[in-house]
Structure 1
Amino acid sequence: MNRLRRIIQEVKRRFDGLSIQIKLIGAYIVIILVPIIIISNYLFTNFYENTVQDIIERSQSSMQNEKREVMNKIETMERSAQLVVSDDQLLQYASSDTEPSALEVMNFESTSFDYIQRLLFNNPEIANIYFFVANPNISEIWPIIYREERIKDKPAYQLAMKQNESVLIEILNNETEILNSNPSEVKRVKSYVSIIRKVYYPGNHYLGMIEVDMHIEDVFGMLYSDNLNEDSQVFILDKRGNIHRNSAKPWIGVETEQIGAVIAQHQGEEGSSFVISDQGFDYLYVRESIDKLDAEMVHVISLQSTYAQIDQTRNQVVLVVAGLLILLAIITFFMQSMILKKLHILQDSMKRVGSGNFNVSIDVRGGDEIGELAHHFRQMLNKINELIVDAVKRSAATKEAELQSLRNQIDAHFLYNTLENLKMLSEVEGQYTISDALTSLGSIMRYNLKWTDDRVQLRDEISHIRHYIAIMNIRHDQKLKLQLDIPDRYLNQEFLKMSLQPIVENALKHGVYSALMKEEGLLIRLGAQVSEGTFVIEVQDNGIGMTEDQLQALNGKLAMNDEEFHSTVGKEETSKRKRGGIGLRNVNQRIHMYYGDDYGIAVDSQRESFTKVTVKLPFYGTSGKEDQNEENSDCG
């Protein structure tokens, strides 16, 4: 079992290693060859059976015709025997108690004897008519009247005397003529079909036997016919197992010693034909019963020539099919070469991409499956190149933030120690406002200079904003207020570092105006919520706001790519933007690079009323995976 499994696995491995072109050609050949083999086997089997059946039918028809001829010949012999027995003068002559006188003999010869001779000569197929008389008073008259002693030793005579029937029909082999007209001639030996009839007259007085002979070749013309080819022969098998045939033709089929047993073995089968194999050769036996002779007429046909013709036809078909398959394989090869040419081009392109070359031109077009595959592969390459560009941009933005931090970093430890000394000095002098400001400044510096990751928790970013507002309140005389409407469950939300400060910084830079600062001051509100799997944080101020044109221009700049932005805004404004900090556009780009284009920031504003910046990010729980339960609970 394991060996078979290994063989199957090896065959499968070798098959998988073949090219698709070889597999397709093999599949076409198998698809065509298997039905051809099945159909050919079915057709040739039927052809063989039909051919043998035709031979059987022709043989049966010939043998039935032959049987009718034989029966006609036997009837002729029976009528002749009946005519002889019906001659009263002959019977009276044969039953005479005394030896007939010369005159009686002459009268008999001129009447009954002459009648029997005419009967014999008028039926040329009848070879002999004999009357074997048991009366010793009757003299022999050649060639008809003979004494019974001549045949008493013959088996046919003895069989006729034993049976109850008065008529016996027999095939007599190698019979010698009873008496030649010329005594010097050698007696000839012949075979006959004979009717032997016992004669009783008057009443039950036995007179002798009438024998009517017909040469066997005249009765069974098919046995001695020259129309039979060398592959067939006909013989007669009588009730005693004797075979009668034309000895001039060679014997075919089962040996003569076994033929009786073979015929007897198939005697009870339906039908009159059967096939016997002998020494590797098949022979068809077709038999026909001749009831009156109690014999079988058997036609033996060798099937070797028939098989040879069928094999020749089959070989021709095989050659034609093989030629067609070779032609089909060649045509299929060239057609598939044209069809798979695009696939080979696509394969080479994929290999170049696999080696690291992503700037591959795939010159495959079309609406078929290969063309569609090439189209999707081109789209995949474009997407890969876009992702590479995005990764490069993301890395550049990170480096830019790090460089910006490095520009501001002189000596972190020196600054921390200096600020700590100033804070302690302020507390000693009782200047607690300055001490708190120095504490906030130190926290801001630590937050900016300690850049280990681009992502922080929202609580860290809010703490940074608190310190920033605390410092800026020194400048604005505590007129800045920070309102937090953020549930505690959102404080662990992932957030990009330094993303809120540019928004709050813009609120202070562009939202503050004198009338506002003289009254209630600038209020900055930070709110957070979850909507449909998106974490939304809003930064809204009550500053001066923007006109509709200014708002559209700002949102348009946020939506531009780098090329459009630089060509539209110009180098001067870009330089100012760099000097002013990371800016809203930098924050929007960072969000796009990290989370995709579905997220980012949007600005809404109304002149002399408010400005609101909305930041959209994917919502994550503390485990770092999307938290649908939080979303549902918040929305509910």
Structure 2
Amino acid sequence: MKYELDKSCQNAEQAAVNCKLSAEIIVNNESINDFLNQIASDKKFSFMDILDFYGKEISGVQKIIKSNPYIYKLRLFVHSGSVKEIIPLLYKEDRIADLKWGRDGVPPTGTWCFDYVDSLEQADDPDGIARIASLITRLNDYRYGRYGIVESAVTMENMFPDLYHSTASDRTCFVDQAGNIYSSPELSDLWSSQKEEIMEFLHANEQPDQMDNGAVCKKTKIGGEEVLAGCVKIKSIQGYLIRIVSTKNDKMILRSSRIEFLLLWIAIVTVLLLFSNRQVTHILRQFYEIYDTVYRVQQGNLEVRVQNMSRDEFGVLGIELNTMLDRIQKLMEDTLQRELLVKNSQIKALQNQINNHFIYNVLESVKMMAEIDEKYEIADTVSSFGQLLRYSMRWKSGYVKVEEEIEQIRNYLALVNLWYDDEICLRMTIPQEILCQEIPKMSLQPIVENSISHGMREYTHDTNIYMEGEITGEDCYIRVTDFGCGMEEEELLQLHKRLNGEREDNSGQESGIGLKNVHDRLQIGFGAEYGITVESEQHCYTRVTIKIPYQKRKRGLT
């Protein structure tokens, strides 16, 4: 209540200040005061003079007043019988007799008059005319005495809005300096019947030390009823705002509030229980679904997955479980594929190891016979073929050094050159560190074989195969390049698809291992990021690059 009374007091103070400022517009305007003095001296003015005065001064004042929402009217009453009235601003002084504050003569400057009907306002509906409060200011001159009166008015509803929103249980009134009570018409009889008690309460609390800090609120009895009463002084108009709130129904309101609070609390608890039950049911459903999935995996079913995953922690757990099962299944498939490749390699090796000693002995006998007959070229050829055959049939270990693989490539080229009139030479630029690296056996020879069989099949002159190597970071690269017929784009694309497993590999030969086989064995041995890549341009070149990890512990350097 104290805050609301202080706010209403500030509103009334603001309205009073606006009334005073609007009156000072007239008081401090020299042009208006000179004109009014001349009227008071009975100077005659033509209609054009009055019209010019209205256009220059009066219209400017009206614009200022219209821009202020607090001001209802600003009127100037002139003591002259000959002046023409300019409504709604300029009136003759004898009009004040129709107003409440002018019936008993002109009041002193600074007098406030409250709650009266604006009888000068012309309206079709008399009941629609506003009730106003006004500040009276007299205009005096030492030569002519009083030459005018300024009425600055504001509606009672704008000045005291709480008066017109009162009820019998919560009502507000305004008491002026003379002790008159102003309220809404509906409650005027109630305030009149309790006037003495109201004034006693006001006199008991109007000491300056009590109202210096704003409104004063106390519990008291008025009209035989316990009420909470408050009052605040409006200094600019020397009056008081009083508000009375009945406490008769406080106990009933408190009891009703308690019942409402209890019902609200029960409703909240019920909603929380229902929500908790739903959440627990949802969590348990997720838990049992994950538990069932784990149990079925334990029984050996790796195809099962968690379904209907939510966005909570159990949903995240289900997603991670599905991801783990996918990875396990993928690893198992990869492991199975590797085992199949190893078994196939072992079977091929076993097929090739047919009576090895018999073949070696025959070759050695042929070599000795050639040397006895001084057929050294035949002896060298048989020796190269024997070394190549022995290398290809020896599978005690699946890995050899790069330099061992290159040595067998030289033997292979020595035999190949027997078939051609022109010589195919091997040119190398490979660091010693790479020569000491280990790679799967028969990794380089199939690449050289493909270069001869496919890349150089149309050439009839001497040519070279270039082999170079480099170390970049933690990886080794070995490139085998032939400057033969190359490949068309479509043929190169199909080769890439075979290497990536997108189509069946048909590149293998009866006496060798295909590029796809080399690529798979490199990935099995070193990882998916390693293997071979092929670059080619038709009629220019074909380059096959082998990527393997750089293993410092196997460099074999002194």
Length-normalised TM-score, structure 2: 0.47
Q: Which of the two has higher C-alpha Rg?
A: 1
Length-normalised TM-score, structure 1: 0.42
